[in-house]
C-alpha cells in the first residue's frame, strides 16, 4: 500500500502552470518519461504520441517531464517546449513544466521512481527519455532506458492494459 500512496499523493505543474494531482490517474497505466527538445532521442516523441493515441481509451496515460540536466538539451521555457512538442511532433499527451530528475532538487516523482526501479547503471536517471511504467494500482513496475524506443515497450504496455481491462469486466 505504501507504493500506491506515494504516487497518488504527488502532483506536478503542467506546462500551462496548472497543478495536476496524480490521484487523477487512479486505475490508469501511467508511462512517465523525462524529455528534452534537443536530444538525439527527441524523435521518440512521435512514438510516444502514437502509443497515447492508440491506447488512451484503454487507460494509458503518458506524462512527459522536460528536463535540462543532460547536456543543456532542454534550454527553453514552457512556451518553447510546448511549441516544439506540438509543432514538431503533434504531442497531445500531458506535458509538465521543466523539472530536475536527479540531484538535490529532483522532483519527488523521479526520486521515488529511481529508488523503486533501478536502471542498468543504478538508481540515478542517466539521460533524457528514461521511461517508467506505473500500473493501475500506482505501483512502479518497469523501467526502460533512453535507447528503448516507445514501440519496443508497446507489448509490455498492452499486457498491463489488457490485464486491467479483464479485471474490470
* Neighbouring residues of 49: CB distance < 8 A, sequence distance ≥ 6: 89, 90, 91, 92, 93
Q: In angstroms, how far apart are the furthest CA atoms of the chain?
A: 47
* Contact of 12 with 19, CB cutoff 8 Å: yes
What is the rounded distance in angstroms from the CA atom of residue 61 to the CA atom of residue 83? 21
Q: Catalytic residue among 39, 48, 99, 101, which?
A: 39
- The verdict on whether 39 is a catalytic residue reads yes
Residues annotated as part of the active site: 39
Amino acid at each position: 500500500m505504501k507504493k500506491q500512496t506515494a504516487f497518488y499523493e504527488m502532483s506536478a505543474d503542467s506546462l500551462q502552470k496548472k497543478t495536476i494531482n496524480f490521484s487523477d490517474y487512479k486505475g490508469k497505466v501511467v508511462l512517465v518519461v523525462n524529455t528534452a527538445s534537443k536530444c538525439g532521442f527527441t524523435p521518440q516523441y512521435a512514438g510516444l504520441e502514437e502509443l497515447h493515441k492508440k491506447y488512451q481509451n484503454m487507460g494509458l496515460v503518458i506524462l512527459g517531464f522536460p528536463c535540462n540536466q543532460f547536456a543543456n538539451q532542454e534550454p527553453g521555457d514552457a512556451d518553447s517546449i510546448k511549441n516544439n512538442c506540438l509543432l514538431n511532433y503533434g504531442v497531445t499527451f500531458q506535458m509538465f513544466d521543466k523539472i530536475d530528475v536527479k540531484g538535490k532538487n529532483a522532483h519527488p516523482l523521479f526520486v521515488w521512481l529511481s529508488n523503486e526501479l533501478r536502471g542498468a547503471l543504478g538508481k540515478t536517471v542517466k539521460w533524457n527519455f528514461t521511461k517508467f511504467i506505473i500500473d493501475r494500482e500506482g505501483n512502479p513496475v518497469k523501467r526502460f532506458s533512453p535507447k528503448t524506443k516507445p514501440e519496443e515497450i508497446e507489448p509490455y504496455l498492452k499486457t498491463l492494459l489488457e490485464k486491467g481491462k479483464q479485471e474490470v469486466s
